[in-house]
Structure 1
Amino acid sequence: MTFDAFSPREVTEMVSNAGVLKGNMRLDKVFMSAVSAGALLAFACGTVISTNATPWFQTNAPGLMRTISAMVFPYGLCMILLTGAELCTGSFMFTTTAALHRRLPWTKMLIHWVVTFLGNLAGSLFIVAIIFGYGNVFSAEPFKSAVISFATKKQVTPEFHMIFLRGIGCNWLVCLACFFSLQGRDLASKVIGIWWPTFAFVSLGFDHVVANMTFIPMAIWVGAPDISVGLYIWKGIIPTLLGNIVGGGVFCGTYYWYMYLLDLNSLPLYGKKHFDSPLQSEQATLKETDIEASAGVIDHETRTNA
């Protein structure tokens, strides 16, 4: 049996190249792309809230409802990755790998993080206020109660360190979804690769800083009694953001750089290889072109030296 997919080493090279592309993109484009990502993920968050608006099942089968919600939520990340929108949590892996690979300055990495975070927040709040809020999507029962209950379980009940640790697990899985989205060559493989790690983090109740940009402000909008803007910043942004940075930047970006790019003298993505027959050479050329297209950016200096 053969699998038409890139190897982990090839994918890590593509992650590094994508990080270079992201880190050097014009900041206005980064911001607008991040706004799109925040809005797209907000739609999926709305679906999660709607799915949880089932009082009897929440009381008698809460695990089942969480699993069903987790099954549908990944469409948000699919829309983001397949349209090339900028999600700050994915950027933590891409740009960290590029910076460790010495292809992107650390300052550009940090600037990209800040701009994508602000863009994601703007896109999420737009959906919360304009589409969900003034559209009265969650103003009626049982949806209003579902919004308040869901946000209370995320913000009021857990302690700071619990949210931080959940944030690590969340973005570890989200960045694996980004990794798998590059590994598959066809659309179906990419969607499947994105779907299951995303399903895992939602089904486990982990915390994603961009998803919280919808869940918590939406609860504030409908009048949740125990949630304020200050509480959201203290427990919805800070611990989740720090945990997501560790999960994506350390457990994914740093790990895969260490395993596949550290001390790598010849880059396998663009390296030359001698073949015994013209047919083998032609097939290899086609594969190399495919890899370059999937990576999204071509390192000119590396190509020249190859």
Structure 2
Amino acid sequence: MDYINPKEVANTMMVAAINKSKLSVKDLLIRGSLSGALLAISVTLAFMATSQTNLSLIGAFVFPVGFVIIVILGLELVTGSFSLVPLAWFEKKISAVAMLTNLFWVFAGNLLGSVLFALMFWSATTETGQISQIGAVEQLLVKASENKTIGYAQHGAAGLFSAFVKAILCNWMVCMGVVMSMTSRSTLGKILAAGIPIFIFFALGYEHAVVNMFVIPAGMMFGANVTLSDWWLYNQLIVTLGNIIGGLLFTGMGIYYTYGKEEKPVSSTIK
């Protein structure tokens, strides 16, 4: 049968975490860069759909295409790894150094791919700065870049806490997409299972660290009133922390520790 039950999924989660920790720096950077670029392409597609239809729900509907490509090709997305790799460390199957090394290089790869695509998209759209007038997609990027940084900063601690909570909720769904993809053996099954939670997070406007690695610098390139310090202090660092908590606590630990542990048989005495 195509369906894989949750107990098998929990075992798959641990195997995946261990295998990820064994990847070389070269593989982590390559697979991480491809993932960052693919998510960036998906955001661009989603913004185009939104600008053409004036319906953000349509943008959210098409956004998961990049994520399902990442899942099917077995690429590396740090937000997904937040829910898996620490589990292997908790269970003493990998070292803390192996865990941190994996997460660091995948994060670096995601950042590299995201910013590289942002630069390529800017170059293609403006003919490397020769065209000053920007289109609807670029305007959405500028607006999103400002809303995700100085928009939160304007409300002080409450705004930053809002970004943190949105990041927790976001990666709860993103990592659910990672785990849901493990419930099917077929390509079509994986696409449907993985895509549903991703649609949810994007439609609700939550905060995803890797998506923001593209949206914010791309908006800056198109003229957003955002600085590098705004990007990192008012969004990237806070959102990354929230993504760690949401993915690990609500998905990785939640699924693994209810399905992944062997149940001890209940002893009984018959008189």
Aligned residue runs from structure 1 range 205-220, under 5 A: 205-220=205-220
Matched, 1:77 2:75: no
The aligned residue for residue 257 of structure 1 is 256
Amino acid at match of 2:2: D
Counterpart selection for 2:81 from 73, 77, 91: 91
Aligned partners of 1:264 and 1:22: how far apart in 2?
Answer: 27
Residue 9 of structure 1: how far off its partner (Å): 1.1
Aligned partners of 2:176 and 2:59: how far apart in 1?
Answer: 20
TM-score normalised by length of structure 1: 0.79
Q: Secondary structure at the match of 1:185?
A: coil
Q: Secondary structure at the match of 1:157?
A: helix
Matched, 1:106 2:134: no
Q: Which blocks of at least 5 consecutive residues in structure 2 are unaligned? A: 153-158, 266-271
CA RMSD of aligned residues (A): 1.9
Amino acid at match of 1:162: S
* Structure 1 ranges of 4+ moved more than 3 A: 262-266
Q: Secondary structure at the match of 2:3?
A: coil
Q: Secondary structure at the match of 1:45?
A: helix
Would the aligned equivalents of 2:82 and 2:103 in 1 still touch at CA under 8 Å? yes
Counterpart selection for 1:120 from 110, 124, 145: 110
The aligned residue for residue 269 of structure 2 is none
**Which digits, 9 at most, give the CA deviation of each residue in 1:82-126, with x for residues without a partner?**
111100001011212222233222221111111100000000011
150-159 vs 83-92, which moves further: 150-159
Aligned residue runs from structure 1 range 54-203, under 5 A: 57=54, 65-129=55-119, 131-136=120-125, 140-158=134-152, 159-203=159-203
Aligned partners of 1:128 and 1:77: how far apart in 2?
Answer: 18
Q: Secondary structure at the match of 1:197?
A: helix
Larger radius of gyration: 1
Identity percentage over the alignment? Answer: 27
Q: Secondary structure at the match of 1:86?
A: coil
Aligned residues: 254
**Which digits, 9 at most, give the CA deviation of each residue in 1:20-49, with x for residues without a partner?**
000111111111110111111110011122
**Which digits, 9 at most, give the CA deviation of each residue in 1:237-294, with x for residues without a partner?**
111100100011111111222212345689xxxxxxxxxxxxxxxxxxxxxxxxxxxx
The aligned residue for residue 238 of structure 1 is 237
Amino acid at match of 1:47: L
Would the aligned equivalents of 1:183 and 1:190 in 2 still touch at CA under 8 Å? yes
**Which digits, 9 at most, give the CA deviation of each residue in 1:123-163, with x for residues without a partner?**
0011001x201111696233332221222222232311111
The aligned residue for residue 297 of structure 1 is none
**Which digits, 9 at most, give the CA deviation of each residue in 1:151-200, with x for residues without a partner?**
22222323111111000111110111111111111111100001110000
Aligned partners of 1:186 and 1:68: how far apart in 2?
Answer: 26
